[in-house]
Amino acid sequence: MRSMRSTRRPRRGIRRAISLALLALLPGCVWRPVEFASADPFRIQAEYVVVASAGGTGDGWNLLQIGAGKAVTAPYAAQVAAAVVDTGVDPRHPDLVDRLLPMQDMVGDDTYDGRVSYKGKDGNGHGTHIAGIMAGVLGSVACPILPVKAIGHSGVGDDRTIARGVRAAVDYRDPARPGLRVRVINLSVGGKTSSAVLEEAIRYALSRDVLVVVAAGNRERGVDYPAAEPVSLAVGATTIKDQLASYSNRGPELAISAPGGDGSESVMSTWPTYLTAADYKKGVSAPHAYGGMVGTSMAAPHVTAAAALLFAMDNRLTAEQVRTRLQATADDLGPVGPDPYFGLGRLNVAQVVSKGAHDAR
């Protein structure tokens, strides 16, 4: 088992060091930093996710917890796309290939160790995992997923490229499917400081009536950026016991929570069908196609997919209406009412697809 690898800068706080050390004790886990490495002080910095290459039963506890799978009538499914602005998605994964739109590549050359090219592919695995969670929540509802590669195989990106990815998702049009539009974007990235360029991109999305769902971050502290921006829908993480995940960031910006797993049970999902840079680093010799991961990165796509379901059921809904519906139907956890740990509560897909009437009945 490979020990914790960190690309952190020196002089991190003591709390973070403790947090990292504790999480590093989890079996089968390595750290994958999603870091906005830049000398520009205005760029947002790091968020970390735990990648568990083993662990997790694959019983779909996360989907059961949120009540996914309820049969719905979704007449607009073919016109409503959900975008994953991340490390890309494996374009040939058998569980995803039928619903993937052509990847929008903001990164270009993406070579690991000078010999393995991930150009046009997910060289990290993070984005493929997220897309798999979304596909799991969507189930038989055939909403397409638009992969937007804005972060390379290292899992380290910058705010400008991610912002370009957000705008590309909003502006995506398919001549062969003229009615198709991205209505919701998943952003499982973040850092400690705000980024004007990223906030502007999210505002641009909202101005086009596209909802942006953002992971709250995994530092046990205040909500990261851009999740903390008022324009974002910030998502925290819960465990298999429907409790707050210890790493999940907290604060009044938190809108809702969803399964993110923890050391005892990760969220299982798709993984690239080829060896990723992470696999090479860990010495994995055979592709595994599925894997478990833990983090608010995993929580956010549950909410993203639930939003896509609502748009697929009624594409007249606005992003604000969908946001209201998601929050209003969440199962209240923790202190009564909204709180800084779970927001309005844990996502309940069964409720959100059924409670849209005058009196939310």
Contact flag: residue 346 with another protein (CB under 8 A): no
Contact flag: residue 327 with another protein (CB under 8 A): yes
d(CA 318, CA 56): 36
Stretch that binds another protein, among 72-80, 86-94, 268-276, 314-322 (CB under 8 A): 314-322
- The residue among 23 and 313 lying less far from another protein, judged by its C-beta, is 313
CA separation, residue 221 to residues 23, 136, 198, 299 (Å) = 15, 29, 21, 17
Give residues 76-95 in contact with another protein (rule: CB under 8 A): none
Give residues 274-313 in contact with another protein (rule: CB under 8 A): 313
Residue type, 168: A
Shortest distance, position 339 Cβ to another protein, whole Å = 10
Contact flag: residue 360 with another protein (CB under 8 A): yes
Instruction: Single out the residue of 78, 314, 350, 354 in contact with another protein (rule: CB under 8 A).
Output: 314
Contact flag: residue 115 with another protein (CB under 8 A): no
Stretch that binds another protein, among 151-159, 186-194, 217-225, 335-343 (CB under 8 A): 335-343
Contact flag: residue 74 with another protein (CB under 8 A): no
Sign, CA dihedral 255-261-266-268, equals negative
Let me know: does 217 contact 45? Beta carbons within 8 Å.
Answer: no
Give residues 251-270 in contact with another protein (rule: CB under 8 A): 252
- The residue among 14 and 357 lying less far from another protein, judged by its C-beta, is 357
Instruction: Single out the residue of 245, 323, 347, 348 in contact with another protein (rule: CB under 8 A).
Output: 323
Contact flag: residue 317 with another protein (CB under 8 A): yes
Report the side by side order of strands in the sheet with 233-238. Answer: 104-105, 145-149, 80-86, 181-187, 211-215, 233-238, 254-259
Contact flag: residue 356 with another protein (CB under 8 A): yes
Active-site residue flag, 297: yes
- At residue 27, the 3 state secondary structure works out as coil
Contact flag: residue 328 with another protein (CB under 8 A): yes
Contact flag: residue 174 with another protein (CB under 8 A): no
Contact flag: residue 358 with another protein (CB under 8 A): yes
Instruction: Single out the residue of 171, 220, 242, 332 in contact with another protein (rule: CB under 8 A).
Output: 332
Report the alpha-carbon angle 272-110-300, nearest 5: 50
Long-range contacts, stretch 36-43, CB < 8 angstroms, 24+ apart: 36/156, 36/157, 36/158, 36/159, 36/162, 36/189, 36/191, 36/195, 37/7, 37/156, 37/158, 38/158, 38/159, 41/193, 42/193, 42/195, 42/196, 43/158, 43/159, 43/160, 43/191, 43/193, 43/195
Active-site residue flag, 93: no
Tokens standing for 301? 């796509």
d(CA 86, CA 32): 13
Contact flag: residue 344 with another protein (CB under 8 A): yes
Let me know: does 177 contact 80? Beta carbons within 8 Å.
Answer: no
d(CA 4, CA 32): 9
Contact flag: residue 165 with another protein (CB under 8 A): no
Among residues 53, 93, 110, 126, which one is catalytic? 126
Shortest distance, position 229 Cβ to another protein, whole Å = 14
Active site residues: 86, 126, 297
Name the residues that contact another protein, by CB under 8 A: 252, 313-314, 316-318, 320-325, 327-329, 332, 336-338, 344, 355-361
